[in-house]
Amino acid sequence: MSVEAGTTQEASIEAKETGGIAALGINGGMFFAQLLNFIVVLLIFWKWVYRPIVTMLDRRTETIEKSLKQAKEIDERLLKLDTERTTVLAQAQQEAVELLSRTHAEAESQHQATMAKAKEEVRRLITEGKAQLIKEKEFMIKETRDEIAALAIEVAKKVVQENIDKTRSQVLAKETIETMLDV
Amino acid sequence: MMISVGAEPIFFLGTFPVTNSMLTAWIVVALFFICGWFIRKQASLAPKGMMNFVDWVIEFLLTEAEKVTGDRERTRKFFPLCATLFFFILISNWMGLLPGVGSIGIHETHAGESVLIPLFRPATSDLNFTLAIAIFSILATHIFGIFTFGFLTHASKFFNVRGIIRAIRRGPMDVVVAIVEFFVGLLEIVSEGAKAVSLALRLFGNVFAGEVLLTVMYSLVSFFIPLPFLFLELLVGLIQATVFSMLVLVFLKSMTDNLHGEEESEHTTH
């Protein structure tokens, strides 16, 4: 290497001494060799770096855009569902209120009807009871009269059949009255 | 102390001189090869570890390039070239700041004086490299121009014969204007050459000046004092890579911008 280096130094100095472009170190072979270096790097970058990464970036952008679109659609659908839910809920609430008020009204009317019916029944029962009581009272009075009449006849018979003195007649009368009271 | 403008040959492959900048360029190529292979293997929809950073860098550069071109499709076409320029220049520039680059070499005796020939030298401090990428980039702008508008339309930008023929139908004043435009087109050819040379010399000048500055600073004071200059060179390396790739992107954009629209607007202004 050192031997060659000695030769190269001489070549370099010789080139500089010729002046002009060579003094700046410009050399056709070196120019093309450096150009080749650059082209190699360009191809490596193009094939191995640029293409895969840009493809990946495009795919990623596409995926992100797709996801964003989907998310937007889902959002819209959710919003729509939410609106629908709110509408349905409001409708259900309204229906429930209507149903409740209708049920209340029906229950009230049924209550009223039942109450009226019950009152009517009670009134009828009272009336019937009263009639029954009067009937029984009349029957009892009639029975009592018959009893008194029978007793009176019994007393009269005894008065007629026996010689009753004043004291005895008073005792008999008293007994008859007690018997009547017992009845 | 001797700082050579040209890259120094280290050894010969047959008659081909392998310079220190060429060695560094090969290291950079090898680095890109390894990184490229790794990235190719790791690329996935859900990146892990370092791939997140790589993805972020590529995405960031794509977004920045799209800001310049204002067109997603064209950005996708130009991006590989501009991004490769950016990374190659950046890594080559920063390679010059690594310990050993410029300081490890072979001592040779010339005219009784011992001279250090560094083993490594940043590729961007070799005019062969900067010229090669500049000319390649300018040629690429023309290739893109031809692919966009076709050969004749693209060539008419520099040899505007079509304009003269059209002007003949319109009148003598338009013919004079068209002839002037024809010569302006010829001047454009010179400006295309100037673009390449300016790109090459700007990059080479900045990086070489940085190398010289660092070598001088290291030879004066070895510790601490060169640190700010190292940071400065880090920044210069990044800026130069950005400037070069951005300029190429702008050239690509201007070369593929609608010529028809330009022509129409030119005629309306006339």
pTM score, two decimals? 0.70
B48 touches chain A (CB under 8 A): no
Going by pLDDT thresholds of 50, 70 and 90, the confidence category of residue A6 is very low
Q: Pick A95 or B8 by higher pLDDT.
A: A95
Three-state secondary structure string covering B101-158? CCCCEEEEEECCEEEEEECCCCHHHCHHHHHHHHHHHHHHHHHHHHHHHCHHHHHCCC
Query: What is residue B161's three-state secondary structure?
Result: helix
Residue carrying the six token digits 């990059």: B203
| Interval A21-55: pLDDT, tens | 677 778 888 889 999 999 999 999 899 988 888 88
Who contacts B74 (Cβ-Cβ below 8 Å, separation ≥6)? B252, B253, B256
Question: What region does B98 belong to: left with phi over 0, alpha with psi -120 to 50, or beta?
Answer: beta
Quote the minimal CA–CA distance from A13 to chain B in Å.
9
Q: How far apart are CA B104 and CA B119, in angstroms?
A: 6
Q: What type of residue sits at position B136?
A: F
Among candidate residues A105, A85, A109, A87, the one with its CA nearest the CA of residue A97 = A105
- What residue ranges of chain B have pLDDT lower than 50? 260-270
Using alpha carbons only, what angle is made at residue B185 by residues B179 and B187, rounded to the nearest 5 degrees? 110
Sign of the torsion angle spanned by Cα atoms A153, A158, A161, A166: negative
CA A175 to chain centre: 85
Q: Which residues of B202-238 are buried (b: 16+ CB within 10 A; e: fewer)?
A: bbbebbbebbeebbebbeeeeeeebeebeeebeebbe
Q: Which residues of A touch B4 (CB under 8 A)?
A: 12, 16, 25
User: How far does A75 lie from chain B, in Å, by closest CA?
Assistant: 25
Residue B10, SS3 per DSSP: strand
- If we measure between CA atoms, which residue out of A38, A48, A59, A54 comes closest to residue B62? A54
Total domain count, chain B: 1
| Å between A55 CA and nearest CA of chain B | 10
For residues A46 and B104, what is the distance between their CA atoms, to the nearest angstrom?
34
In whole angstroms, give the CA distance from residue B161 to residue B167. 10
For β-strands B9-13 and B113-118, DSSP reports them as: unpaired
| A34, A59, A63: residue with CB nearest B25 | A34
Q: How many angstroms separate the CA of residue B183 from the nearest CA in chain A?
A: 29
Structural domain span for residue B96: 9-269
pLDDT bracket for residue A154 (50, 70, 90)? confident
Would B92 be classed as within a structural domain?
Answer: yes
Provide the sign of the torsion angle of the four alpha carbons B138, B144, B148, B153, taken in this order: positive
- pLDDT given for residue A179 in this prediction: 75
Q: Does A59 touch chain B (CB under 8 A)?
A: yes
CB contact under 8 A, A11 and B16: no
Closest C-alpha to B103, from B214, B205, B11: B214
**Cβ–Cβ gap A26/B44 under 8 Å:** no
Q: Taking a contact as any Cβ pair under 8 Å apart, which residues of chain A between 22 and 41 contact chain B?
A: 22-27, 29-35, 37-41
Q: Which of A5, A38, A60 sits opposite B132 (nearest CB)?
A: A38
Write out residues 143-162 of A within 8 Å (CB-CB) of B.
Answer: none
Query: How far is it, in rounded angstroms, from Cα A79 to Cα A71?
Result: 12
Average of per-residue pLDDT across A70-75: 94
Average pLDDT (A154-170) is 73
Cα separation, B191 vs B179, whole angstroms: 19
Give dist(CA A109, CA A99) in Å, integer.
15
Contact status of A53 with chain B (Cβ, < 8 Å): yes
pLDDT given for residue A163 in this prediction: 60
Cβ–Cβ contact A142 with B under 8 A: no
Query: Domain map of chain A by residue range?
Result: 2-182
Between A9, A27, A54, which is nearest B76 by CB?
A: A54
Closest residue of B to A25, CA-based?
B6
B143-190 residue pLDDT tens? 999 999 888 888 888 888 888 888 888 888 888 888 888 888 888 899
Report the DSSP beta bridge partners of residue B200: none
Mutate to test the interface with A, among B15, B21, B108 (most CBs of A within 10 A): B108
Return the amino acid letter for B4.
Answer: S
Q: What phi and psi, each to the nearest 5 degrees, are found at residue B108? A: -125, 155
- Banded pLDDT at A4 (limits 50, 70, 90): very low
Q: Is the pLDDT of residue A9 over 90?
A: no
Strand partners of residue B116: B107
